[in-house]
A and B are shown apart, each in its own frame.
Chain A
């Protein structure tokens, strides 16, 4: 079964500055005590938001100027730490449809692909430029095109990177990998028979 292809994400953007933002911050563990992913969107970055609020400051997620944003702008090593898929799920359920950043933790990246959330990378300078742009003009129009590997922001074009495999998965609608893994199941059974610890030493 093939899922809908993901070629393009357009909309406004939300700047979220900081390196090494871990998944405990994206979705604190206490919200993992549930058997579904429902309702996670409302709790994204909850602790960061509360602590800023206590200081009289506003987290970008609480800033009405950025409401409705579909593209998240982040910095280096975004999504490090715990493997919880709840992190991309919380972002996705909060309306985010693509993440643009300097770099991503591998597990976060993989989890994001698996739920249909493209993560693409740009240089530190370009990410900073885009974050500054959006902070000044929150309604700037962004359009990410996975096919051409470009991000157009207010008319200016940036070329973004995404690993070829992930790009192919989005464009071909193979980002939900299970069906693909079940395609040649005889080969899996054959291989299992050759492994001594499965077949018996």
Chain B
């Protein structure tokens, strides 16, 4: 019978039905970082439990690390304590750690794929909502809370409720200057921030088939912003080509066997879905958020809505967003002044993101008064970018080139907004206060759009910058 990747992977990893009615699901890869794990390790110690599958677990440090200087101890004593406690926990429980300063360190959702740890057909869990990123490889990957981190550490399993599956087809080819980020912002705008609750999203269609792995990761990364706990793309030749030769990928004869098994995991062509949605990819324009959740976005050629024009249900929320963001309602989104430009995060901190942004800024200058940051998602990305000379391109344009980490995506390290600053950001959340200042304002967009905004000092259609003959 025809089956979806979701049901195949789910069935393969189901240990048993639990007394509560949930399914006990085996976790094939458990990723750990410093923020959501210390309490979990502490609970293991208190109960005298061990980690039974330490080699199915990998830890790194990303959220709290400064991107300017890695000198220890960190200026922030609590951040220092978090790192020290992760180091001790990994040592005590035998969990491999890609530590500060190591070549492999980086944002957990960047290093899993680039080391080849993330593979098709796996179940992947991490105490971080953007674990959905790993679905780009045809894995079933989802974020969990700290008590569940404890569950996985102690038993390599989770108690899970079944998910429904929505197939999202993105038809046609994306126009130049339009990226995976715009696709996912458009999907969330269409389906809403809770449209995916209870669902996993399977992305497909011509536009997705033509995306690189980096782009598929951007797409799957923000599934959670649409309420879907997991999002995935069926594994194909693009997936296999990306994985080939990566440190943790199968080698020699095993490679062929792995590709054969991975191919079997993909959804069958005539599989049934609980819901289907189609989006015209060819018609998409670059997107920018104007509000305080990722569904509140507009095309760059569009306008900020007026609360009065909205359905009565939505009015209060729109009014709240406009007030916070300082929009009157009805103005064009292009032309919105910015103070800070941030390129990075697990959504858009990969090599191709930096390349696209560098293509925009090359030979140009960041507008006066704009603080611009380019932050690679991992050390490997940083080194690859520096090998290509991208660091120099950014620096010459007036960007700061930083060390790898989560940086200004959230306020757990020294990179943060001040006061009511407006930030053009390639990250994934525009919630109130997300970037560190309780009144700071975030406009989400693609890295190329952030680059264009940095040059102009205001939101600008990147297609005009790219299209001016260079």
Contacts and interface: CB of A to CB of B under 8 A. Distances in A.
Contacts of A137: none
Interface string A29-67: 110111111000000000110110000000000000000
B450 interface: no
Nearest to B225: A81
A107 interface: yes
A102 to B, nearest CB: 11
Given A25-B431, A36-B39, A200-B254, A187 B197 contact: no
A111 interface: yes
A110 B25 CA distance: 15
A168 B20 contact: yes
A133 interface: no
A148 to B, nearest CB: 19
Interface residues of A, number: 63
Contacts of A86: 146
A18 B324 CA distance: 15
A77 B438 contact: no
Contacts of A168: 19-21
B250 interface: yes
B317 interface: yes
Contact of A20 (B28, B47, B154, B293): B293
B317 A201 contact: no
Contact of B317 (A20, A35, A166, A176): A20
B18 to A, nearest CB: 6
A82 B129 contact: yes
A181 B145 contact: no
A129 interface: no
Interface string B5-36: 00000001101101111101010100000011
Contacts of B431: 22, 24-25, 81
B429 interface: yes
Nearest to B155: A181
- Most chain A beta carbons < 10 A, residue from B12, B52, B433: B433
A35 B21 contact: no
Contact of A114 (B13, B22, B24, B147): B147
Q: How large is the interface on B (under 10, 10 to 19, 20 to 34, 35 or more residues)?
A: 35 or more
B411 A29 contact: yes
Contacts of B151: 177-178, 181
Contact of A195 (B26, B36, B52): B26
B79 interface: yes
A29 B197 contact: no
B449 interface: no
A115 interface: yes
Given A107-B229, A165-B20, A168-B21, A195 B432 contact: no
B433 A47 contact: yes
Nearest to B81: A35
A110 B432 contact: no
Interface string B120-162: 0110000111000000000000011111101100111111010
B229 A106 contact: yes
B194 interface: yes
A145 B122 CA distance: 40
Interface in B61-87: 63-64, 76, 78-79, 81-82, 85
Given A35-B85, A106-B229, A182-B155, A25 B432 contact: yes
Contacts, number: 201
A110 to B, nearest CB: 6
A198 B20 CA distance: 28
Contacts of A194: 12
Interface string A145-180: 000000000000000000111101100101011101
A5 to B, nearest CB: 13
Nearest to B317: A19
A196 interface: yes
Contacts of B434: 24, 29
B26 A35 contact: no
A178 B154 contact: yes
B172 interface: no
30 contacts: A20-B317, A25-B432, A25-B433, A30-B436, A32-B412, A33-B82, A35-B85, A37-B39, A47-B438, A50-B438, A80-B227, A83-B224, A84-B145, A85-B36, A105-B197, A111-B146, A114-B147, A163-B161, A164-B21, A165-B161, A166-B20, A168-B21, A174-B19, A178-B154, A181-B159, A187-B16, A188-B26, A191-B13, A196-B258, A197-B122
Interface of B: 12-13, 15-16, 18-22, 24, 26, 28, 35-36, 38-39, 42-43, 47, 49, 52-53, 56, 63-64, 76, 78-79, 81-82, 85, 119, 121-122, 127-129, 143-148, 150-151, 154-159, 161, 193-194, 197-198, 224, 227, 229, 250, 254-255, 257-258, 261, 293, 317, 320, 410-412, 429, 431-434, 436, 438-439
Given A29-B434, A30-B412, A195-B26, 9 more contacts: A32-B412, A77-B197, A81-B429, A83-B144, A107-B143, A114-B148, A174-B20, A181-B151, A191-B15
Interface of A: 18-20, 22, 24-25, 28-30, 32-37, 47-48, 50-51, 76-77, 80-86, 103, 105-107, 110-111, 114-115, 163-166, 168-169, 172, 174, 176-178, 180-182, 184-185, 187-188, 191-192, 194-198, 200-201
10 pairs of A and B residues whose beta carbons are closest in the complex: A114-B147, A111-B145, A35-B38, A85-B145, A83-B129, A181-B155, A85-B146, A47-B438, A201-B254, A83-B143
